[in-house]
Chain A
Amino acid sequence: RKEVEQDPGPFNVPEGATVAFNCTYSNSASQSFFWYRQDCRKEPKLLMSVYSSGNEDGRFTAQLNRASQYISLLIRDSKLSDSATYLCVVNRDSGYSTLTFGKGTMLLVSP
């Protein structure tokens, strides 16, 4: 099993739609989880951290399921500007650790 796996997409949705991405991770000792966003030919930027109890930031909701080792990102009321690649990121272990990036899921929002 790969360390972090994501469906590469693309997910094609119309404006206003709700879309969800899942990401699975293999290391049960992973401590921290994040979603990053990467626009075409740009650097990745943190979208949101993922907390055990789930968290919401405006139209974005992140969930963590430790038992099944997956995290999810839900985007409500999609905007054209949401078109990007969404990277699932997991830390490898406790202490100083390096982050493992998934390959990303591409989202395309159309008018």
Chain B
Amino acid sequence: NAGVTQTPKFQVLKTGQSMTLQCAQDMNHEYMSWYRQDPGMGLRLIHYSVGAGITDQGEVPNGYNVSRSTTEDFPLRLLSAAPSQTSVYFCASRPGHLYEQYFGPGTRLTVT
């Protein structure tokens, strides 16, 4: 099992550009989530999904969109990048009946 994979590992964007962060898991987990981690702020939930076709907002959803067309994939779209979105983004998944989250290696995004 590859676990949770994320691409790209690093990305630099200019303000106003859009992009998609990719996340995939091969553990057949129902639940998937996107977090951002900023210094001094801890991990904050952006969006999450409890299954294919079902998504919901987390703590800091503004400026981000998600979709879940398959169990395996949960991409995060930045609509119009802003410097405030400079962060490390982690995707995570877990089985529906357990709380243990499995995290991907992260994407380090810089918006200039």
Contact = CB atoms under 8 A, between A and B. Distances in A.
Interface of A: 32, 34, 42-46, 49, 87, 91, 96, 98-99, 101-104
B49 to A, nearest CB: 11
B25 to A, nearest CB: 13
B79 interface: no
B42 A32 contact: no
Contacts of A46: 100-101
B58 A98 contact: yes
Interface in B80-112: 90, 96, 99-101, 103-106
A91 B94 CA distance: 13
Nearest to A4: B42
A43 B41 contact: no
B42 A103 contact: yes
Given A98-B58, A103-B40, A43 B100 contact: no
